[in-house]
Structures are given as structure tokens and as C-alpha cells.
Amino acid sequence: EIVLTQSPGTLSLSPGERATLSCRASQSLSSSYLAWYQQKPGQAPRLLIYGAVSRATGIPDRFSGSGSGTDFTLTISRLEPEDFAVYYCQQYGSSRRGTFGQGTRVEI
Amino acid sequence: EVQLLESGGGLVQPGGSLRLSCAASGFTFSSYPMSWVRQAPGQGLEWVSVISGSGDSTYYADSVQGRFTISRDNSKNTLYLQMNSLRAEDTAVYYCAKEKPPWLRLFDYWGQGTLVTVSS
């Protein structure tokens, strides 16, 4: 089973700064089947990025994804107040499970 | 507009049972696999179970295999999760989630969740 490890656990930044979140897979992900979700307190997760680099519908272009193989990155170019949340990476497509990372909290 | 609305959560004793429902609207329900994903208090996300669009194929996480049963009624646009032999570690918010084809376990819409608390 593929294990996803996210780092750092918590990222403390200010509005306007750049956020860089990492997700490392224990095995190479086929066809870059890696997604990123955002979750705010008391809310359901929201799909941000899939296929490692493709933004989901309605996602602002300050969110971008990169990477392949085992190393993936979510970048938020300039943090807006509404971007402070927990972010999860997830591998999908290659197995019947959908394994999530443990999450990175982006805090002010 | 896609909407998913869970219900049926609550407090149940260890060893008890509970059935969750998820009412779907805004899309052709029978065309999409649907999953349940849970989140224990203060913890991350754990995929629980999936059912195919027709309902003839199901799959479970090891942690719930043999205790939980996923089903759907496409005539009612509703997804279900029957949870038996509940344990304290099943305490979580349970989300239903729609898959984004053609990929397995990629979720483009989620419900707001329903809280299940297993405690005596």
C-alpha cells in the first residue's frame, strides 16, 4: 500500500506570502495520480488539484501543483485570508483505495 | 448544482448499529461510483467504502470489512452505509463523496458530513 507523507505538519505564514507544501509517496505514482484537497474548519474537503497539476473547476490560479513520481508540491503563490486551512494530498486511480496524507495546516 | 446531504449520524453504544444516508441531487446519480470517507475528531481523512454506479460492485477498507455495508437506491438518488458492530474507533464525521470519472477514488463533490459517536 502506498503511504503519503506530507511536510511540514504546520506552516505559519502571513497573507500575501507564498506557501509551498510537500507530499512524498512511498512508491512512484502511475500517471501522476495525485490530488490536493483543502479543508476549512467545520467544512468538507474541496478538490483543488488533480493529476498533480490540473486545477479543479473554479479554483483560483494562485493554486498550482507540480511534481511526478514520488515527490509532489502544492504552491499557493500569494496567500489570501481564506486560504488558511488544512491541505491533504491523496493518491488515486491505481488502486481501489484512495490513500490520503496526514495533512498540512497553513496558519496565520 | 451538485448537492450531497448526509443524515443518520448520532450517538450509539459500542456493538450497536447505525445506518447513514446520503441524498444526492444535481447529477445523474446512477452514472457515478460513490464513496464514504470518514474523519475522526482532529484527525485526517480515511476512505471507507465505494459502490459502483449500478450498485453491483462494492469494496471496503480493511478496518470496516465485514462490519459495514454500502448500498444505493438509484430510484431515490440515495446512498447508504449500514454500520454494525460499531467500535469506539469508528467515531468520526462520515462524508459521502462523488467520484470524478474516469478515475478511481478521485472525489469532486463532498457532502457536509454527519457525526457518528460510538460511546457508552
Interface check for B112 against chain A (CB to CB < 8 A): the answer is: yes
Contact yes or no for A99 and B59 at CB 8 A: no
Could A98 and B47 be called an inter-chain contact, meaning their C-beta atoms sit closer than 8 Å? yes
- For residue A88, list chain B residues with Cβ-Cβ distance below 8 A: 44-45
Q: What is the DSSP string of B91-120?
A: -EEEEEEEE-TTSTT-EEEE---EEEEE--
pLDDT digits (tens, 9 = 90+) for A47-83: 999 999 999 999 999 999 999 999 999 999 999 999 9
DSSP, res A100? B
The answer to whether the beta carbons of residues B73 and B53 sit under 8 Å apart is: no
**Mean pLDDT over all residues of chain B?**
96
Beta bridge partners of A12: A107
Interface residues from chain A to B (CB-CB < 8 Å): 33, 35, 37, 43-47, 50, 56-57, 88, 90, 92-103
Q: Are A46 and B110 in contact (CB under 8 A)?
A: yes
Whether residue A96 is predicted with pLDDT greater than 90 in this model: the reply is: no
Q: What is the pLDDT of residues A7-50, one digit of tens each?
A: 999 999 999 999 999 999 999 887 789 999 999 999 999 999 99
Of A50, A96, A100, the CB nearest to B50: A96
User: Among B47, B95, B104, whose Cβ lies nearest the Cβ of A93?
Assistant: B104
Give the contacts of A71 (CB within 8 A, at least 6 positions apart): A22, A23, A24, A25
Instruction: Categorize the per-residue pLDDT at A1 as very low, low, confident or very high, splitting at 50, 70 and 90.
Output: confident
| B44 touching A (Cβ < 8 Å) | yes
Residue B23 bridge partners (DSSP): B5, B78
Q: Do B104 and A90 make contact, defined as CB atoms within 8 angstroms? A: no
Choose, out of A37, A49, A57, A97, the residue to mutate when testing the contact with B (most B CBs < 10 Å).
A97
